[in-house]
Structure 1
Amino acid sequence: MKIKFCSNIYIGILLICLPLSVFSQSTNLVIQDIKFESQGITLAGSVLLPKNPFAAVVIVHGSDPVKREMEFAKRLAKAGIAVLTYDKRGVGESGGIYVGPSVGTNNIDTTNLNLLSHDANSAVNTFRTYLKGKKMPIGLVGFSQAGWIIPIATSKNPHIAFMVLFSCPTITTLEQLRFQFYTNGNNHFWENHTDEDAREHTKNDPDKYQFVATDPKTSLNTLSIPGLWLFGEKDIQIPVKLCMEQLNTFKVQGKPFEYTLFSKLGHNTVSDDRDTAPFDISIQWIKQKTLNSKKFKE
């Protein structure tokens, strides 16, 4: 009896000391909750490690107060990609203050976007410690507002090897707001308006807010890593054809930037159950850009 009692105590102590890890239904995936520091606060997230991953990504949020993107992360992990996803600052278990509302100067002003880029880079640097010994590239994958955050983060972090951007702008923050105020959340907007009409308002409408605009092209100009943008033609949050036009200019300059347009989709290009093509294409693109590239064989 004494031996059994001591054994139970030992097992209890061992379980307390082990890192907080859980196995999914498939033993090929390990999920570990983590915490890391960024700009004086603690962020909380999860690392998902599939068996024999070929690449790794950190997920960058959109503008809403979003917790870690576990469902999307599991889809990536199932496809063979290691993932770090975290609660946005001021949300869930992460410290700091969430800056809102979703539309307005304080959410997309330069100070906040730079702060969120620091968080993304801290996540990348933390993730590298979990991938030690695994020779694979690390990229950033993000949504919407991440179109401004990812280029800033990538321009400051040489360890980021690629980027995938779902419904992300390549225009300035002020231009995006002009377009968004013009469409006014009308899901039937494109039934009654032309691209030329929207472009005119995006370029020339008076600004409702006065602040220094962030232009992602400033950071994109400094990058030489591959990038993939995925757009929905019916998007009423960003003017996708204007964004694609600017990407075409980068391509002419020799930048390794690509994009795909989905005619039936709107701003949601990643979690629409009716059309998984954007996600599927992003996975194939990551494989193509990483598996056979000597640059990533560190």
Structure 2
Amino acid sequence: MNFLLLPFLFISNSLLAISSNFTTKNVKFQSEGISLSGTIFNPKNASAAVVIVHGSGQEKRMTEFATLLANNGIAVLTYDKRGVGESGGVYAGPEVGTNNVDSLNLNLLSLDASSAVDVLSKDLQNNRIPIGLIGGSQAGWIIPLTAQKNKKIKFMTIFSGALITVKQQLRFQFYTNGNSSFWDTHTEEDARNHTMTDPDKYEFIDTDPLDTLTKLSIPGLWIFGGKDIQVPVNLSIELLNKLKPGSKQYEYKLYPDLGHNTAFSDSTEPVEYAIKWIKNRK
């Protein structure tokens, strides 16, 4: 059974420059009793810095995506997920018969990301640049949790992250059932009805990102694909718009023809947009 969003793939493309105007350093750091392994990418004259937060799946450090960001003047810490690669701990996920979207696991992964922010901040202590989080899919739940835990985090960049609860997202994902032509035969009203009313197939402690986002005051950017069949985009945008009035510095960018993997589709526009947005953080 699938308890998660499909892995969000960061794959190299034309944005990945040939030159390597940065240094790299492998690091090990502690989080909740285990050792995590990662790499810091430090470009010359960096204007911002990010920790890459994993989506679902057994993801190692994302060196290609980190290289892309570093070549664009953004410092990066990317690490092997808990229980994967050179990192200690136990990986949770359906491949090993466990539920990785239970609130306890999402919070544990957010603590790992928070520890990574502390490591990156210490490494860049003589460089007063803003540090943020970037990630996609399942990271859309983890990133706000991390930002609430660590005041060093100054911004969030989220690709295809749901603004609905985990259980609601699963209802939508089960209904679309991986059908790439889903939106050719279903309406928004139909999909929303199933998302909000279908019975849950699994019982676990749920997570509602709105609970956290209402408490945060840092800027956030969400990038969506209009043909996403894993996240109900229109519903997520509607909920995000309800958060925006007042002091919330939340933005979104919609690419109507893209699917779930907005970061690296055939179009480089989403990543270019995200990089420009990050480099404008103060």
User: TM (normalized to structure 2)?
Assistant: 0.91
* Contact 1:105–1:209, Cα closer than 8 Å, also in 2: no
Q: Secondary structure at the match of 2:251?
A: strand
One-letter amino acid of the counterpart of residue 285, structure 1: W
Question: What is the match of residue 75 of structure 1?
Answer: 68
Q: Percent identity?
A: 58
> Per-residue deviation at 1:210?
1.2
**Is 2:79 the partner of 1:86?**
yes
Is 1:276–2:252 an aligned residue pair?
no
SS in structure 2 at match of 1:57: strand
Letter in 2 for 1:160: I
User: What is the number of residues matched between the two proteins?
Assistant: 266
Task: Report matched runs for 1:168-207 at 5 Å.
Answer: 168-207=161-200
Q: Distance in 2 between matches of 1:26 and 1:50?
A: 11
SS at match of 2:100: helix
Structure showing the higher helix proportion among its residues: 1
Taking a change above 3 Å as real, the CA distance of residues 129 and 233 of structure 1, as seen in their structure-2 partners, is: same
Q: CA–CA distance in 2 between the matches of 1:64 and 1:212?
A: 20
Structure 1 residue 211, shift from structure 2 partner = 1.6
Let me know the Cα RMSD of the aligned residues.
Answer: 1.6
Distance 1:281 1:25 in 2: 20
Which residue matches 2:9? none
Q: In structure 2, what residue type is equivalent to 1:286?
A: I
Tell me if 1:159 matches 2:152.
yes
| SS at 1:118 equivalent | helix
Partner residue of 2:243 out of 242, 250, 257: 250
Q: CA deviation at 1:27?
A: 5.9
Match of 2:134 in 1: 141
Mapping of residues 1-298 of structure 1, within 5 Å: 26=19, 28-101=21-94, 106-272=99-265, 274-290=266-282
Distance 1:173 1:103 in 2: 20
2-structure distance, mates of 1:114, 1:134: 29
Shift of 1:129: 1.3
Provide the residue aligned with 1:295 in structure 2. none
Residue aligned with 1:236, SS? coil
**Which structure has the higher relative contact order (CA within 8 Å, separation 6+)?**
2
| Distance (whole Å) between structure 1 residues aligned to residue 171 and residue 98 of structure 2 | 12
Comparing 247-256 and 160-169, the one that deviates more: 247-256
- How far did 1:212 drift? 2.1
Measured against aligned partners, the alpha-carbon deviations of 1:70-101 in whole angstroms (never above 9, x if no partner) come to 11111100110000000000111000111011
Distance in 2 separating the partners of 1:246 and 1:223: 15
* TM-score of the aligned structures, taking structure 1 as reference length: 0.87
* TM-superposed deviation, 1:26: 4.2
State the SS of the aligned residue for 2:270. Answer: helix
**Unmatched runs of 5 consecutive residues or more in structure 1:** 1-23, 291-298
Unaligned runs of 5+ in 2: 1-16
Question: SS where residue 162 of structure 1 aligns?
Answer: strand
The answer for the alignment partner of 1:14 in structure 2 is none
Provide the secondary structure at the position in 2 that maps to 1:106.
Answer: coil
